[in-house]
């Protein structure tokens, strides 16, 4: 996808309006238009990258620093009791907008939101083999 037909690039350029929460040289954060709960915020690098894997180290670092700042403000400003950060890469993981973004989701008792967590067990030797695959790719 080119940046001109990317919704988030059009938000960065100001062509599409947003409820802006935070901005710096590299990062923009704004309220999600269809929130899972009030205060659901999206944080993006201004420069277009499809996924986390395509981001420059500089953009990744800038997003990390801004994430801490913006998450703390969402948490405090909304009197939240908790906060989830979610980041989807590729369609299989639920990514719908192909401009990398972090979801910040403030949590309150009774908000009705639950992250599915169907935990499993490793089979014999499986954990070590999975670990080696990741280490070889590092």
Residues that bind Zn ion (CB under 5 A): 3, 6, 8-9, 48, 99
N-to-C CA span, the chain: 27
| Chain residues 47-76 in contact with ligand 5GP, contact rule CB under 6 A | none
48 binds, among Zn ion, ligand 5GP, none (CB under 5 to 8 A by kind): Zn ion
Comparing CA positions, the residue from 80, 81, 89, 72 lying closest to residue 22 is: 72
Stretch that binds ligand 5GP, among 25-33, 54-62, 72-80, 106-114 (CB under 6 A): 25-33
What would the two tokens of residue 90 be? 């590729």
Please give the helix or strand (H or E) that residue 1 lies within, else none: none
Residue 94 lies near ligand 5GP (rule: CB under 6 A): yes
What would the two tokens of residue 133 be? 């695959």
What residues are labeled active site? Answer: 101
């Amino acid at each position: 996808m080119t940046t001109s037909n990317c919704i988030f690039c059009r938000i960065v350029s100001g062509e599409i309006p947003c409820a802006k929460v935070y901005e710096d040289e590299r990062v923009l954060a704004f309220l999600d238009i269809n929130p899972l709960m009030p205060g659901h915020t999206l944080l993006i690098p201004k420069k277009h990258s499809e996924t986390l894997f395509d981001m420059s180290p500089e953009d990744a670092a800038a997003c990390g620093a801004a994430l801490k700042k913006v998450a703390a403000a969402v948490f405090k400003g909304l009197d939240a009791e908790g906060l989830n950060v979610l980041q989807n890469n590729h369609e299989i993981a639920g990514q719908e907008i192909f401009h990398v973004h972090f979801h910040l989701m403030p949590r309150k008792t009774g908000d009705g939101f639950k992250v599915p967590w169907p935990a499993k067990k490793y089979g014999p030797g499986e954990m070590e083999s999975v670990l080696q695959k990741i280490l070889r790719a590092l």
